[in-house]
Amino acid sequence: MLSEVMSHYEITREFDRVDFFETEEFKNILQEVRHNIQGGRLIALTGIVGCGKTRILSQLHETLKKEKNVVVCQSLSVEKNRLTLGTLITALFCDLRRTKTEKLPSQPEQRERHLRDMVKNKKKPVVLFVDEAHDLHGKTLVALKRLIEVMQGGGGVLSIVLAGHPKLSNDLKRPTMEEIGARATTFILDGIQKQKKEYIDYLFKQCLKPKVKMESIIKPDAIDFLASQLSTPLQIHQYLNLALTEGYRAGIKPVTEDLVKSVLAFDLNGREAQLIRQGYDPRTLAEALDIKVKEARSFIKGDLNGSRRDEIMDGIKTLGIVL
Output the pLDDT for position 322. 87
Does residue 73 contact residue 216 with C-beta atoms inside 8 Å?
no
Which one, of 233, 282, 278, 226, lies nearest residue 256 by Cα? 226
Instruction: Dihedral sign for Cα 53, 58, 63, 64, please.
Output: positive
Assign 182 a pLDDT band (cuts: 50, 70, 90).
Answer: confident
Assign 323 a pLDDT band (cuts: 50, 70, 90).
Answer: confident
Q: Is residue 81 over pLDDT 80?
A: no
CA 153 centroid distance within chain: 31
Average pLDDT, integer, range 210-229: 96
Q: What is the mean pLDDT of the chain?
A: 93
Q: Structural domain boundaries of the chain?
A: 24-188, 194-263, 271-319
Assign 269 a pLDDT band (cuts: 50, 70, 90).
Answer: confident
CA dihedral 51, 56, 58, 62 (to 10 degrees): 170
Q: Is residue 80 over pLDDT 80?
A: no
Output the pLDDT for position 119. 96
Q: Is residue 222 over pLDDT 80?
A: yes
Output the pLDDT for position 2. 93
Residue 178 to residue 175: CA distance in whole angstroms: 5
Output the pLDDT for position 178. 87
Does residue 255 contact residue 276 with C-beta atoms inside 8 Å?
no
Residue 53 to residue 4: CA distance in whole angstroms: 31
Assign 200 a pLDDT band (cuts: 50, 70, 90).
Answer: very high
Assign 95 a pLDDT band (cuts: 50, 70, 90).
Answer: very high
Q: Which run of H or of E encompasses 162?
A: strand 158-164
Domain 24-188 annotated CATH 3.40.50.300: yes
pTM score, whole prediction:
0.89
Residue 47 to residue 87: CA distance in whole angstroms: 25
Average pLDDT, integer, range 103-123: 94
Q: Is residue 124 over pLDDT 80?
A: yes
Q: Please give the share of the chain, as a percent, with pLDDT higher than 70.
A: 100
Average pLDDT, integer, range 129-137: 91
Output the pLDDT for position 286. 95
For the stretch 9-42, pLDDT in tens is 999 999 999 999 999 988 998 899 899 999 999 9
For the stretch 5-14, pLDDT in tens is 999 999 999 9
